[in-house]
A = this chain, B = another copy of it.
Amino acid sequence: MIVMKFGGTCVGNGERIASVGRITARVLEQTGSTPVVVVSAMNGVTDSLRRAASTAASGDRRTYRLIRGELEQRHEQAIAHCVTDPERARALGAETHTLLDWFEDLCQSIWTLGELTPRGLDAVLGLGERLSTRLTAAAMIDQGSKAEAVEATEVIVTDGNFGNAGPLMDKTRARARARLLPLLEAGVVPVVTGFIGATADGVSTTLGRGSSDYSATIIGHCLSADEVWIWSDVDGVMTADPRIVPDARTLHTISYAEVAELSYFGASVLHPKTIQPVAQRSIPVRVLNAFHPERPGTLVCGEVSEDVLVKGITAIRDLTIVTVEGRGMQGVPGVAGRVFSAVGRSGVSVLMISQSSSEQSICFVVRSVDTPVVVDAIEREFEREMLRSDIDRIGSQDEVAIIAAVGAGMKGKPGIAARVFGALADQGISVISIAQGSSEYNLSLVVVHDDVDEGVRAIHRQFGLGRIQTQG
């Protein structure tokens, strides 16, 4: 059995929704078993909902009413396109209307109280998926399939960490099996809302931005799916961001670990946490293009025994490299401990650490938005040492980026680093800091903003990751 997730662009309008129905039907036909379908909100809808809620909280009664109108129109158009039966279209229209009334009530209440809580926001944000699943299920029925819209609040039980809720797997497994298996046995496609869940008490939560993928892998895990297919508007996991590297190529296969690294260092693919439920059970994931279902996509699985050294090149921008420096630090064991304890207390994540030369200087990379709080935390920690000049300065260089070359094949292979740095040197790109841990699948390096794009391209080229050129 297959769990399929369709992203926002795949359900972006009536035509696309109809196409989702056809893809699903074909999968059912080919595999002979009924898949579970997880859908995102129509693309752009979640952002509109967020804007509605936040403008309401700041005293604006007009914006959320306008948004309500837009959403109503967009969903009605989609209904008109993909639900041909008039009775069914009318009923769906009424249901859509009721949900949007509720949306308006919520925004009105937020306006009245003048406050947007994480819980209130989660209640509003979930509406996009609640609308799109109903529409998708209706379209499937209209095409002659058996389908039923299912609210994930009935399926995915989460903790109460609103805005970034985590699934409680044992409870979720029980509910998912109870709710979805009977449908599958009856040949009815469950069309489940992505992105959302509910606490054990039934309060709506969301699993974090863009986490419809996560809904799919959680359900895949709970139902022991054969595969999880992630349908979006790209051909699969790519060797680099095609906006930077025009000849970036789709990878045939990639391992769970590699895709997590690529994602961590900025590639807009499966978030590391998304991978966990399927990696635990070794369930393969396919990343497919709903606009070109015939293309092979990328297969994500456990071990990948390819000879490819480097799988992909990613970059994260808007970073700052922070340096703690001082003669007095030498021979003082525990300075690194104090630096990172201070950073830890500030709640900020560290993306990369590099230190050599005893403990005279430690440097690490954080997001630039986090720099003030981190620098402040360290300055408070080392107040006395700075007064005594044991620590000279806490420096920070803004506008830097990390470039990461990712690939399980790099491990233990001589020459990778040489080729990476050679490619950069050929472009005259200066490297500020480097880190490569012993157990990792990536080599990370820090460059200034101006050099990022050229750097990514140079490494991509160096490892021949681009599309193979037909030679005349």
| Cβ contacts under 8 Å, A438 to chain B | 321, 323, 354, 363, 395, 397, 432-433, 446
Distance in Å: Cβ of A108 to nearest Cβ of chain B: 7
A357–B353 CA distance with the chains assembled, in angstroms = 10
Contact B418 A425 (CB under 8 A): yes
Contact with B along A427-458 (1 / 0, CB 8 A): 11111111111111111111000000000000
A345–B112 CA distance with the chains assembled, in angstroms = 36
Given contacts A109-B113, A438-B433, contact A341 B338 (CB under 8 A): yes
Given contacts A114-B203, A435-B435, contact A336 B330 (CB under 8 A): no
* Residues 324 to 352 of chain A near chain B (Cβ within 8 Å): 325, 327, 330-331, 333-352
A404 in contact (CB, < 8 A): yes
Contact with B along A339-377 (1 / 0, CB 8 A): 111111111111111111111011100000000000000
A119–B422 CA distance with the chains assembled, in angstroms = 54
| Cβ contacts under 8 Å, A264 to chain B | 357-358
| Cβ contacts under 8 Å, A348 to chain B | 333
Say whether chain A's binding surface is mostly helix, strand, loop, or mixed: mixed
| Cβ contacts under 8 Å, A428 to chain B | 414-415
| Cβ contacts under 8 Å, A361 to chain B | 437, 439-440
A272 in contact (CB, < 8 A): yes
How many copies of this kind of chain does the complex include? 4
Distance in Å: Cβ of A396 to nearest Cβ of chain B: 10
| Cβ contacts under 8 Å, A431 to chain B | 414, 417, 436
A362–B439 CA distance with the chains assembled, in angstroms = 9
A418–B421 CA distance with the chains assembled, in angstroms = 4
* Residues 31 to 67 of chain A near chain B (Cβ within 8 Å): none
Contact B415 A425 (CB under 8 A): yes
| Cβ contacts under 8 Å, A414 to chain B | 424-425, 427-431
Most buried by B among A109, A362, A423: A109
In addition to A337-B337, A354-B355, 12 A-B residue pairs with Cβ atoms within 8 Å of each other are: A331-B349, A334-B345, A336-B343, A340-B340, A354-B354, A354-B435, A355-B435, A397-B438, A413-B430, A418-B423, A419-B421, A434-B436
30 pairs, CB–CB < 8 Å, chain A vs chain B: A105-B112, A106-B112, A110-B113, A113-B113, A114-B119, A114-B203, A115-B120, A264-B357, A331-B349, A333-B345, A333-B348, A334-B344, A336-B350, A336-B353, A337-B337, A349-B358, A352-B356, A354-B435, A357-B444, A361-B440, A414-B424, A415-B425, A417-B431, A417-B434, A417-B445, A419-B422, A419-B425, A421-B422, A432-B438, A434-B436
